[in-house]
Every structure is written in C-alpha cells, then in structure tokens.
Chains A and B, each alone.
Chain A
C-alpha cells in the first residue's frame, strides 16, 4: 500500500490541468476497450500525448517479456513493474530510453505499433464541429460518401446538409422528381421481334425493380436530403453509362408514316408526322393524350413553347397551327406563307417561322397576330433560331441572315458557304452563330465583327451535310450524314474527336449530362458516346432491320429518359416511338 501512496503524492504535485489527462491515461491502461473512446472523444495536449504513450509501453513490455504471457508466473516482471510505478515521470522517461536501447528491433517495431495510434487524431471527433465541417467542405461528393463509412460519428457530421449544398451545382444536376413509368406502354417493354436493347434488364427482374420504384423518397432523403439528391444523380448517370436499362416502352402511332419532328417538354412528348397529324403523349403514363387533327398536309416542323402551354406546328399545307397542351384544342391557324412551312423557333410567345416561300414570318401565338415578314433570302429557308429579339436564318441560297425581329430588317448577311445551309446554332450572349452546310463545312460566325470578317472558324472534316449541332462553351458537337460525330474546339478551330461507329447518316444528336451524347441514325441504331474521351459508351437501341430500311428518324431526351422515333421508308419496320427509362429514386 505504501507504493500507491507515493504515486498519489506525485499526482498531487501536478497542476489541476495536468491531472485530468493522467486520469484518462489510467483509465486507458486499465481497460483496453476504453482506448477507442479516448481517441474518439477526448482532445489532449501535446505533452499529454507523451505521457499517454508511456502506459502502452509498459503494457507491451509485460507481454513481450513473458513468453507464456502469464504475468503471474513471472515474478521478475512483476517486480520490474512495481519498481517502475515508484519512479517519477522524468525517471520513467529515463528508464524508457535506456530500456529501448536494450531492446531488439522486433520489440521496438511492436512498440511502434502501440504508440503510433496515439499520434493520430480523429479530426471529426476531436475538433469543434465547425472545423470538422470546414474540412469536409473541401471534399467532393464521392469523398463524402467514403467519409460516411468510416464511423458513426463521421457519418453524422458528413450528412450535415450545408456540406452537401455547398457542392458545385454540377454535381446535383437538379433532376425533376422521380417518375412512375410503370403504367400504359411501360407495362410491356420495347424488346420485341426486330428490336434489340442491349443491357436491358431481364423480364423476371423487372417486377422487383418496379416494386422498388414505388419508394420514391427513402431513408437517406429523410435524414440528409441533399446527400440523397447527390446519390440519385450519381445513380442516374450510372444508369445511362453502365447499369442495365430498367424500363422501356413502345408508343404506337402514325402507322405507315414518317415521324418528322419530335419534342419533349416536362412530361409531354409531341410527335409530328407526314400523316398530317401530331400526337401528344404523356411520358410517365405511357399513353397518348390527344391527336391533333386539322392540317391538310404533312407536318414538317413543330415546337412546344417554353411555358409548355402551346404546341405549334408547320405544314406543307402552308399554315401554322397553334394548339393547347391542356386539352389538345386548336387555338389559332396562322396563314400567310405561300409554301411549305419548313422550320420554326420560339421565344416566349413570339414565334418565327421559315418557309420554302423564301420568307420568314413573326407571329404572336397567344393572339394569333402576324407581326412581321422578313424578306431577303433568295431560296427556301431551311433553319431558324430566335432569342426573342434577333432572328438567325439559314437557307438554300447558301447564306445565313441576321434579322431584327421587331423591325423586320436584315442586319447582316453571312456569306461563305458553297451549298445549302441545313443546320444552325445561335448563342446570343456571345453573338455566336454556327452553321452546317451541304458543302460539308461548319462555319462559326461572330456577327458583331466588321462586315466581311464575321467568320471566326471554318471547321472541315465532315464529308456530307451536318444534320445537328450542340454547343457548350467552346466545345461544339456535330452529327453528319457521313455517319460520323465530330467534337470541335471552336476557339482553336480544330477537331478534337471523331466518333465512328454508325454505318449511315446520323439523323439526330442530343447532348446531356456532362459529357454524354446520344445519336440516332439511318442504320437503325441509337448510340451513346463519351465526348470527353471520344469513345462509344454503348448501343442503346438496335433494329434488326437496320441496313434493310429500318431507321431511327429522331431522338430527344430528358435527363432521365430517351425517346427515339423508329420507322422505315419501305415498310420493313413499323412506325413507333421507343422510350428508355434511366430514372432512379431518392435513396
């Protein structure tokens, strides 16, 4: 009992601040289970760390000194421990130093394994919560998911919503809420004789998946909503890139005719056809809502207004018709064009239509009033873009024209193409126009430059007409009748990637997500590409009749769904729309 009193007297000589760490050390030494709570819960000073390391040393010496690991049978070790406890802290350090000098390397390595954890720190448990959050604030969503797996305490801190909210907008993608897509046409699948969807889920697994889809907002969403949003966005991207396709549908309509145009707005899909009608479909329910009848000629162009209330269609009957999406009723018939209405663009409720009659007309679709006629092209107007003020049009006269929509005046004529202009892009913030032509080239224009110097890049490499383009920043993606997709840098004027794989003309292109592009082709396939790596991700749809007339005329998508219009010109493939679902629930 006397030696214990000595130890107690030594403790008494310390300052009150130092006394508590020593108590922690005692607890730690007596019960190994407490070590975890020590490292998790307490924050100790540098000096206390040195003190705390002495106990495990002593503990390990006991173990290593006794081959049988039974301390009671080794009175010499017990004697040594008793002597050690009598020493002051400084004397203990001196004894340690000399004992280490007497130890072999094997024992020293074992000591290191015991000591080292005491110099590591669980930052989320030791630091104030604000600092833990500040550290996590620097991590990506992917790293935060790993943090949540480390320990319960780390999980709690890593799920603080403020941390997830501070991730870049890019990572959350702001998808609409989870969808149903189990009724109507979704009850079956698009897999049928003649249609191959590689990677489609097996029918026996489909029912399980449909059941799981009903739980749209899971446990994580209730606990940490923004983490759940991140996980869903990540899952959706994987659904596009690699996961089995978990749902598909066939919308049948426009039998034996060509689907000439297709648009999506929220949950509404509109298809126009040379059967003189348009069909309005509800995507989630997989059914047709209305058939818009009234045109006396084939429909060749259509638009859905930004507000989603109007559908506008242009036809070979020379008229433009305005329909209501609420009930499918015809609101206005806009007359004035003297030939086929071939293209259109909308901004707000103002519509610009281009026609084979060489003119463009400006309309107000709410009132049905004709506002202006733009004269100047010498041949059919083939494509048009509109930002609400400025109209950009391309035509069969090889020119691109810039107009003021309010005054009807032609501001600029861009010349340089040697053949018909088939596709246009207009980015008004930068006054950039991209035009694709049958002369095989794509030209990039800046119409704020002096007249005659507007062409800032000439992109060459394609060997036929460019059917579609999309631009983000300085990256332009183009698809062409030559069967290739090209990725360009418009600032450098160079081709970054050429994507080969289609076997005939590409009909449509859609860029979504960060680097994913989907293309449809006359060869009867829909392909998904990674334009950053310049590689094919996978085939999404393949028609057996591809190469024998089966083709995919149009393609469009939302962030969670892809629609492609399928058919043929020789009746080898029935006309239909195939839908693929890439949605996911909130976990």
Chain B
C-alpha cells in the first residue's frame, strides 16, 4: 500500500509584512505565569481566537490589550504552545483541517524535531493543551508523533515506553480478560 503523498505546504500567498511590528497579547497561565505571543499566532487556537475577536483585540486600532487568562494550561506548556503557534502563524488553516481525519499525514521536519525533543510527559501536556485550546494542527502532529513511537512495539515495550505497570500490578489482575 503506497503511502499517500500530502501536497507540499503552499507558500504564503502574500509577502511577509515588513512594516508593522507584531501586536503582542499577554496570556496568564493557570499557575500565574504571564506570557505573551503574537496575536496572529494565537489565532491558530480556535478558543483563543473566539476570545480575541470578542474582545476586539484583533482590530488594529485597539490599543489597550489586557492579559487573557488561560485557566487550564500551566506556564511551561503554554510557552511551548505559543512557540509552536508562532512558527505556524503563516500556515493556511485549511491544511490543518484537511489533515484532521487523515491517517498517514507527514509531519514537517521542524515539527518532527520540535515534538521529538520533548520528554513524553511534556508532549502529553502539550497535546492536552492543544486539545483544550483547539489548535488543530498541533493536535494532528502531536497525536501522530505519539503513534509513531508506539508503532511496531509489542505490549511489553509499550508498557515500558508509556510507564504502565505490569499486568499483575494493575487492578483487575486477571490478564486473561484482555490477552486475545
């Protein structure tokens, strides 16, 4: 079964704006950290985009930007998410939506490097944060990265990789119920 080839990412349709500096919005994480990100990058999050538009912060003339609370993401993870969004702020949103239900998406090399250097714990936190803030592209690549690490492994190796206790240490200790 040949792998489907995804279309290469289209270059931005408009040249990069050189004039205006990026407009920064501050976010408050659940543990009280104050972080800031380019509003254009933060719009990749559907949740934040709704808030930003409702407050009118996406308008150029809106000068006073108050920090927006993000109640379910801690600062360390939020910083990673902002970094990812900043990298992808020029992307066509249709690409992430098109890849949402695909099975064999290709992870771009920057994303592969960014996600693979994270410890598993941080990767899961990042995926959960992307889920809460509805960042489709990051969910796509994060889930694919986890799946890639599980591919080809037997049950024992998966337990070791994901920190799952041995069957006899688990509740409902009868292994016969699930070893088909």
Chain A CB within 8 A of B177 CB: yes
Chain B CB within 8 A of A231 CB: yes
CB under 8 Å from chain A, chain B span 165-180: 165, 167, 169-172, 177-180
Contact at B180–A145, with CB atoms within 8 Å?
yes
Contact at B150–A121, with CB atoms within 8 Å?
no
Contact of B103 among A18, A46, A116, A137 (CB under 8 A): A137
Contact with A along B67-80 (1 / 0, CB 8 A): 00000001011000
Q: Which residue of B lies closest to A35 (CB)?
A: B165
Query: Complex: how many Å from CA A128 to CA B72?
Result: 14
Interface SS majority for chain A: helix
Chain A CB within 8 A of B113 CB: no
Chain A CB within 8 A of B5 CB: no
Q: Which residue of B lies closest to A219 (CB)?
A: B180
- Decide: A45 near B179, CB < 8 A? Known: A39-B164, A119-B119: no
Contact of B131 among A120, A128, A143, A147 (CB under 8 A): A128
Contact at A47–B154, with CB atoms within 8 Å?
no
Chain A CB within 8 A of B161 CB: yes
Contact of A131 among B76, B127, B161, B169 (CB under 8 A): B127
Segment of A148-156, A364-372, A564-572 engaged in the interface with chain B:
A148-156
Contact at B180–A587, with CB atoms within 8 Å?
yes
Chain B CB within 8 A of A296 CB: no
Contact at A135–B147, with CB atoms within 8 Å?
yes
Interface SS majority for chain B: helix
Chain A CB within 8 A of B92 CB: no
A471 to chain B, nearest CB (A): 18
Chain B CB within 8 A of A130 CB: yes
Contact at A146–B154, with CB atoms within 8 Å?
yes
Chain B CB within 8 A of A100 CB: no
Chain B CB within 8 A of A138 CB: yes
Contact of B147 among A121, A122, A136 (CB under 8 A): A136
In the complex, which residues of chain B have a beta carbon less than 8 angstroms from the beta carbon of A151?
159, 164-165, 167, 170, 178
Query: Complex: how many Å from CA A18 to CA B74?
Result: 11
In the complex, which residues of chain B have a beta carbon less than 8 angstroms from the beta carbon of A36?
165, 169-171
CB under 8 Å from chain B, chain A span 196-224: 220
Q: Which residue of A lies closest to B104 (CB)?
A: A138
Chain A CB within 8 A of B148 CB: yes
Contact with B along A34-78 (1 / 0, CB 8 A): 011101100101110100000000000000000000000000000
Contact at A139–B146, with CB atoms within 8 Å?
no
Contact with A along B92-115 (1 / 0, CB 8 A): 000000000001100000000000
CB under 8 Å from chain B, chain A span 11-41: 17-18, 35-37, 39-40
Chain B CB within 8 A of A266 CB: no
A39 to chain B, nearest CB (A): 6
- Decide: A150 near B146, CB < 8 A? Known: A46-B76, A134-B139: no
In the complex, which residues of chain B have a beta carbon less than 8 angstroms from the beta carbon of A49?
121
Chain B CB within 8 A of A89 CB: no
Chain A CB within 8 A of B144 CB: yes
In the complex, which residues of chain A have a beta carbon less than 8 angstroms from the beta carbon of B180?
145, 148-149, 220, 231, 587
Contact at B120–A127, with CB atoms within 8 Å?
no
- Decide: A46 near B1, CB < 8 A? Known: A138-B148, A152-B177: no
- Decide: A146 near B155, CB < 8 A? Known: A39-B163, A45-B31, A46-B121: yes
Query: Complex: how many Å from CA A185 to CA B150?
Result: 48
Contact at B178–A149, with CB atoms within 8 Å?
yes
Chain B CB within 8 A of A170 CB: yes
Chain B CB within 8 A of A450 CB: no
Q: Which residue of B lies closest to A156 (CB)?
A: B178
In the complex, which residues of chain A have a beta carbon less than 8 angstroms from the beta carbon of B122?
46
**Quick one: which of B74, B121, B159 has the most chain A CB within 10 A?**
B121
In the complex, which residues of chain B have a beta carbon less than 8 angstroms from the beta carbon of A166?
103
Chain A CB within 8 A of B125 CB: yes
- Decide: A127 near B178, CB < 8 A? Known: A45-B31, A46-B121: no
Band of interface residues on A: 35 or more
In the complex, which residues of chain B have a beta carbon less than 8 angstroms from the beta carbon of A150?
155, 158-159, 162, 164
B47 to chain A, nearest CB (A): 14
Contact at B121–A120, with CB atoms within 8 Å?
yes
CB under 8 Å from chain A, chain B span 108-151: 119-122, 124-125, 127-128, 131, 139, 143-144, 146-148, 150-151
Contact at B153–A146, with CB atoms within 8 Å?
yes
Q: Which residue of B lies closest to A124 (CB)?
A: B162
Chain B CB within 8 A of A123 CB: yes
Query: Complex: how many Å from CA A118 to CA B112?
Result: 24
Query: Complex: how many Å from CA A148 to CA B177?
Result: 10
In the complex, which residues of chain B have a beta carbon less than 8 angstroms from the beta carbon of A120?
120-121, 161-163
Chain A CB within 8 A of B19 CB: no
In the complex, which residues of chain A have a beta carbon less than 8 angstroms from the beta carbon of B144?
138
B58 to chain A, nearest CB (A): 28
Contact at A140–B167, with CB atoms within 8 Å?
no
In the complex, which residues of chain A have a beta carbon less than 8 angstroms from the beta carbon of B178?
148-149, 151-152, 155
In the complex, which residues of chain A have a beta carbon less than 8 angstroms from the beta carbon of B152?
143
Query: Complex: how many Å from CA A140 to CA B177?
Result: 22
Chain A CB within 8 A of B6 CB: no
Contact at A134–B179, with CB atoms within 8 Å?
no
In the complex, which residues of chain B have a beta carbon less than 8 angstroms from the beta carbon of A143?
150-153
Contact at A17–B150, with CB atoms within 8 Å?
no
A-B contact list, 23 entries, CB within 8 Å:
A36-B169, A36-B170, A40-B165, A45-B31, A45-B125, A46-B74, A46-B121, A119-B121, A120-B161, A121-B162, A122-B162, A128-B128, A134-B139, A135-B143, A136-B147, A137-B103, A138-B147, A138-B148, A146-B153, A149-B179, A152-B170, A152-B178, A231-B180
Q: A146-B153, A152-B178 are in contact. List 19 more A-B contacts (CB 8 A).
A: A40-B170, A43-B128, A45-B125, A46-B76, A46-B125, A118-B163, A119-B121, A121-B121, A131-B131, A134-B139, A135-B146, A143-B150, A146-B154, A147-B158, A148-B180, A149-B179, A151-B159, A152-B172, A170-B1
Q: Enumerate the 6 nearest inter-chain pairs by beta-carbon distance, A residue then B residue, closest first.
A: A120-B163, A138-B147, A149-B155, A155-B178, A36-B165, A134-B143
* Chain B interfacial positions (CB closer than 8 Å to A): 1, 30-31, 74, 76-77, 103-104, 119-122, 124-125, 127-128, 131, 139, 143-144, 146-148, 150-155, 158-159, 161-165, 167, 169-172, 177-180
